[in-house]
């Protein structure tokens, strides 16, 4: 039985070799980025200046190349196949010292919420889909503690002050939970100016949270994007 299974796997591997999810180059393992694509996006580091009341913001990838491409497919094409390579990146960074420092003492994780209407259209919260399993493995609970109380326009072409105006008061807590003395981690798929997570953090602060940090799957931290 095992012999046939192995033969079958070898045949599948031969007919459909694993390919880089970004550029389709053949790679060793399924859902793995090729070395060139990985090098272009992979960057675990803390943002140098973060808006109040946030304490630290850590990203896992730059928002470009394969990372940008896959997040777009997830958000705009509802393509759930991209989750495996995205989750593989999280697994790859799991033991990094920056991750341990960020997660140290975290009571629970709160994903940035979608408005109910957008959630219904998409069928899922992409940030939660990317991070949920990874936090289960880390034994840190994920709570949907925030909601969007009104719809907002897309923000990609808005500057920082426009974003602040649009997002002011847009988040609220789903329950009156006492967060005094607790460290809470907000997760988001893409961190741009920090306005969204900072608005989320204000609600958590009003519930008493002591420290609020952010883990973003992708961000450019205000770096100049390559021209190509």
Residues that bind Zn ion (CB under 5 A): 20, 22-23, 25, 34, 37
DSSP annotation of 169? T
Q: Closest approach of Cβ 15 to Zn ion, in Å?
A: 20
Q: Closest approach of Cβ 171 to Zn ion, in Å?
A: 36
Q: Which is nearer to Zn ion, 22 or 200 (CB)?
A: 22
Q: What are phi and psi of 22, to 5 degrees?
A: -95, -45
Q: Which is nearer to Zn ion, 22 or 145 (CB)?
A: 22
Q: Which is nearer to Zn ion, 69 or 115 (CB)?
A: 69
DSSP annotation of 112? P
H or E element, residue 206: helix 195-206
Q: Closest approach of Cβ 38 to Zn ion, in Å?
A: 8
Residues 6 or more apart in contact with residue 218 via CB below 8 angstroms: 41, 59, 60, 61, 62, 63, 67, 68, 71, 189, 190, 191
Is the distance from CB of 59 to CB of 218 less than 8 angstroms?
yes
Q: Which is nearer to Zn ion, 20 or 71 (CB)?
A: 20
Q: Which is nearer to Zn ion, 24 or 227 (CB)?
A: 24
Q: Closest approach of Cβ 24 to Zn ion, in Å?
A: 7
Is the distance from CB of 41 to CB of 52 less than 8 angstroms?
no
Angle, helix 83-93 to helix 126-137, in steps of 10 degrees: 40
Q: Which is nearer to Zn ion, 69 or 75 (CB)?
A: 69
Q: Closest approach of Cβ 34 to Zn ion, in Å?
A: 3
What span, in angstroms and rounded, lies between the C-alpha atoms of 94 and 222? Answer: 25
Is the distance from CB of 121 to CB of 81 less than 8 angstroms?
no
Q: Closest approach of Cβ 85 to Zn ion, in Å?
A: 10
């Amino acid at each position: 039985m095992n012999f046939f299974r192995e033969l079958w796997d070898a045949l599948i591997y031969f007919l459909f070799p694993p390919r880089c999810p970004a550029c389709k180059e053949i790679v060793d393992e399924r859902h793995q980025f090729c070395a060139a694509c990985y090098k272009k996006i992979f960057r675990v580091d803390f943002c140098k200046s973060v808006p109040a009341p946030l304490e630290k913001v850590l990203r896992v990838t730059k928002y470009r190349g394969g990372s940008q491409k896959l997040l777009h497919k997830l958000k705009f094409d509802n393509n759930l196949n991209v989750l495996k390579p995205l989750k593989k990146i999280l697994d790859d960074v799991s033991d990094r010292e920056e991750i341990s420092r960020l997660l140290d003492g975290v009571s629970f994780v709160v994903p940035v919420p979608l408005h109910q209407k957008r959630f219904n259209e998409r069928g899922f919260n992409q940030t939660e889909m990317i991070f949920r399993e990874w936090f289960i493995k880390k034994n840190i609970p994920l709570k949907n503690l925030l909601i969007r109380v009104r719809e907002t326009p897309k923000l990609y072409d808005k500057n920082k002050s426009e974003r602040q105006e649009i997002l002011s008061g847009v988040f609220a807590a789903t329950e009156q939970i006492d967060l005094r003395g607790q460290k809470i981690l907000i997760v988001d798929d893409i961190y741009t100016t920090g306005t969204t997570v900072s608005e989320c953090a204000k609600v958590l602060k009003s519930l008493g949270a002591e420290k609020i940090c952010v883990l973003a799957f992708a961000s450019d931290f205000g770096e100049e994007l390559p021209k190509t």
